Amino acid sequence: MDSDLTQIEAARKHIITAEMQTVARDEHRDPQWICDSVALGRIVIPANHNHTNLHAHGVGEGLSTKINVNLGVSGDQHNYANEMKKVELADNMHADAIMDLSNCGKTSRFRTSLVQTSPAMIGTVPMYDAIGYLEKPLEDISADDFLDVVRKHAEDGVDFVTIHAGITRAVIDTWLKEKRTLNIVSRGGSLIFAWMKITGNENPFYEHFDELCEILRKYDITISLGDAMRPGCIDDATDQAQISELVQLGELVTRAQENGVQAMVEGPGHVPIDQIEANIKVEKTLCHHAPFYVLGPLVTDVAPGYDHITAAIGGAIAATAGADFLCYVTPSEHLRLPDAQDVRDGIAATQLAAHAADLAKHVPGAKEWDHKMAVARSQFDWDRMFELAIDGDKARSMLEAAPPQEEGTCTMCGQMCAVKTVNETLKRMGLTV
Ligand code: SF4
């Protein structure tokens, strides 16, 4: 956007920005309705002024469910070329957002390449980068230092940042009093907790929230209010620690918006199916209908190796109940840094969860996609089917790996292909197929 207004500030002045126009076009919605929803904080359009090749996306009520892909290097696996190949894969599979979760050494090289090459919304968790960027042990880092790291990410062009500002002293007291099976599983949350306990200080992002907003406002970065107390296992789902942090996040949504900063809220985590809808409703109520970005939710703890499926089940239910943004989970969750195949499987599983929810919510354009696939199937138009498929390359390779005897069919039913039988019968009857 040319102006120095943020999207929410522009919307409050009834200005329809170029980004709002793009979202309206992609979502088959009226630009005025998008503008009104941004003004209310029900839709966010993360779009850093410095991310010049961004294709703007809207996240929030009434829009298609968006998906995020986590990438980035770790201390054990730091091959930047591999990560950039995964970026290419995510962009080719039309991921809406990519979060750089690099957590070792100097991370700006990957982050800036990501911003320069990808049209997806780019997110980071500046807290992961603090020790590497500042080259100091955790105990020597000051609140100002933390803000400097956020400033650096802002200048580099990221569109949204996860900030764990809701884990306050009061929330920690609630957690320690009530006890948990798996305590804190949020990486950023665990670092903030450790820093607070070492220094004796309040959460620096909570205490200096207005200064933080000043940095975010300048670049129009959306704050993604992180859930440090998200349940990391079914035992801890929807407990007092999680809900007390959510109450703080609701307060911070309002403060961010008052500062001209767009806000969304992150959510669980590991949640059994029967609690998912309630989690979404409570978040929407406590956080004034800010967009909800869920990390799963994983509906059981017992499926390492298959957690993309565990999360897709939870994600479909969450998005149907009103979650707006799904963070992908790969088969390697809890096990290792994902390889390219894990990334592909995670994206496909999350996209199908998002789309299944969009169908259930009657999101404009969702049903048309399925209709096109059904028409292609009825006409044995395999190329069109692969073009429409979430993972067309995988679908094509599976078909081609097992050629059928009967042309046009597949080896599932072969000569007994129901579609072929009915098409031929209808033709004999003089009816159009
Ligand atoms: S053979 Fe069976 S599975 Fe394959 S296209 Fe025909 S009906 Fe579908």
Residues 422 and 385 occupy one common structural domain: no
Residues 383 and 316 occupy one common structural domain: no
Is residue 23 domain-resident?
Answer: no
> Which whole-number Å values give the CA distances from 223 to 23, 47, 104, 162, 167, in the listed order?
19, 11, 23, 6, 15
pLDDT category of residue 133 using cuts at 50, 70 and 90: confident
Residues 227 and 94 occupy one common structural domain: yes
Q: What is the CATH number of the domain that holds 252?
A: 3.20.20.540
Residues 104 and 158 occupy one common structural domain: yes
Is residue 19 domain-resident?
Answer: no
- What is the pTM for the complete model shown? 0.95
Residues 328 and 394 occupy one common structural domain: no
Is the predicted pLDDT of residue 76 greater than 90, yes or no? no
Residues 157 and 291 occupy one common structural domain: yes
Identify whether the C-beta of residue 143 lies closer than 8 Å to the C-beta of residue 208: yes
Residues 217 and 230 occupy one common structural domain: yes
Q: How far, in Å, is the centroid of ligand 1 from the Cα of 397?
A: 16
Residues 291 and 423 occupy one common structural domain: no
Is residue 41 domain-resident?
Answer: no
Is residue 214 domain-resident?
Answer: yes
pLDDT at 74: 75
pLDDT in tens, 256-280: 999 999 999 999 999 999 999 999 9
pLDDT in tens, 207-219: 999 999 999 999 9
Q: Is the CB–ligand 1 distance for residue 395 below 6 Å?
A: no
Which one is predicted more confidently, 278 or 137? 278
Q: How far, in Å, is the centroid of ligand 1 from the Cα of 408?
A: 9
Residues 143 and 235 occupy one common structural domain: yes
Least confident of 40-44, 167-171, 248-252, 420-424: 420-424
Is the predicted pLDDT of residue 406 greater than 90, yes or no? no
**Atom nearest to 380 CA in ligand 1:** 5
Residues 104 and 148 occupy one common structural domain: yes
Is residue 11 domain-resident?
Answer: no
Residues 372 and 411 occupy one common structural domain: no
Residues 153 and 122 occupy one common structural domain: yes
**Atom nearest to 420 CA in ligand 1:** 6
Is residue 312 domain-resident?
Answer: yes
Q: How far, in Å, is the centroid of ligand 1 from the Cα of 331?
A: 29
Q: How many domains does the chain have?
A: 3
Q: Which range marks the domain in which residue 295 is found?
A: 65-356
User: What average pLDDT score do residues 385-410 get?
Assistant: 93
**Atom nearest to 414 CA in ligand 1:** 1
Identify whether the C-beta of residue 103 lies closer than 8 Å to the C-beta of residue 187: yes
Is the predicted pLDDT of residue 293 greater than 90, yes or no? yes
Q: Is the CB–ligand 1 distance for residue 410 below 6 Å?
A: yes
Q: How far, in Å, is the centroid of ligand 1 from the Cα of 352?
A: 21
